[in-house]
Amino acid sequence: MNSENKKFCTNCGKEIPQTAQYCPYCNTKQPSLEPTYLNRSDVRTHQCPRCKNLIPDGVSYCPYCDEPQTRSQSNSNQQQTDQPAKAQTKNTTNHQPRPRKSHFWRNVIVLLVVILLAVIAFFTYQNYHNSQVQSQNQANQAQTGKTTNTKDQDNQSKPQNNIVEIVKSFTQNNKYESGQDAAQAVQKVVDKVPNSEGTNATWDPNAQTVNVNIPASSPIVKSVDSSSPQVWDTAVKALQTISKEISNNSTGNDDYSNIKVVRDDTGQPILQVDKGNVSLNSRTK
């Protein structure tokens, strides 16, 4: 190669064409120089399949466009046979293509960011959904509370009104000639009161009262201390009604309308009604 058209690689120091942009031996990019041309006929060359420039045989990359040369190995072997002395002074080792930069960590970071955004979006939606459900439940509970209060008010009035009508339907204009007659009428009324199982009414001739013995486990007794005394209030209303009916329809000078409700476990009176008037009520005392 003419000394005027040569230069040396800045990395490996080998002689390379002056116009080479990359070293054909170590693939190092070279500083730009004024373009010159190959002018020796004894240098074997071939045409780069990409840029069409003439380049020496035996190089791995085109010094003009960096295109890998597939003919370099065969040309190098032929050059070694024809010119063994010159071939020994040149590096004919095939170079591997320049390694590509790995984007592995960049892809990992992008994937982690996507996952993080997906997690944030999921929990944001979950919190929003839970808040909506909670708001709806609160609204439903408020509506249910209003409905329950209305029903409770209706239930407190309807059973009492119904029991009064029931009592009057089978006791009106009855004649009570003895305390036993009064006790039988009270028993019929008590049987009409909801949850009154196990309750019995008897006449006490000594005290001149109709004693109503009621089990301590009865819902009527439990209703005395509860926050929903509908059952107890219904029983009180029923006994007030029958007491008044007995007072109005007792024969002679005797009055059998004095009714006393007693717990069967303690014998303690929890309600007393006479002539339809309440003189003792455990819930209000």
> What is the CA angle 229-220-141, rounded to 5?
40
Strand 277-281 and strand 269-274: pairing? antiparallel
Smallest CA-to-CA distance from 273 within 167, 198, 155 is with 167
Domain boundary among 64, 89, 114: 89
Task: Give the burial string for 275-284 (b: 16+ CB within 10 Å, else e).
Answer: bbeeeebbee
| Lookup: tokens for 84 | 């063994």
The 10s digit of each residue's pLDDT in 186-213 is 998 888 887 788 899 999 999 899 999 9
* Residue 84: pLDDT over 80: no
Length of the chain: 285
Range of the domain at 85: 3-89
**Where among 89, 107, 131 does a domain terminate?**
89
- Does any domain span residue 110? no
**Residue pointed to by tokens 């009508």:** 165
Any domain includes 139: no
Residue 135 domain-assigned (yes or no):
no
- Domain-embedded: residue 144: no
Maximal C-alpha separation, the chain = 159
pLDDT digits (tens, 9 = 90+) for 117-156: 999 999 999 999 898 898 888 888 877 766 555 555 554 4
Q: Name the pLDDT band for 73 (thresholds 50, 70, 90).
A: very low
Residue 39 included in any domain: yes
In a domain, 104, yes or no: no
Mean pLDDT score, 87-99: 51
- Measured in whole angstroms, the distance separating CA 201 from the mean position of its chain's CA atoms is 58
> pLDDT per residue over 214-261, tens digit each?
998 888 888 887 777 888 888 888 888 888 888 888 877 778 889 999
Q: What is the pLDDT of residue 90?
A: 47
Q: Domain total for the chain? A: 2
Across the chain, what does the average pLDDT equal? Answer: 78
Residue 157 lies in a domain: no
Is residue 71, in this structure, part of any structural domain at all? Answer: yes
> Looking at 89, 124, 153, which one is the last position of a domain?
89
Q: How confident is the model at residue 4 (pLDDT cuts 50, 70, 90)?
A: low
Q: How far apart are CA 87 and CA 79, in angstroms?
A: 7
Residue with tokens 């339907």: 169
Pair 9, 23: CB distance under 8 Å: yes
For the entire predicted model, the pTM comes to: 0.44
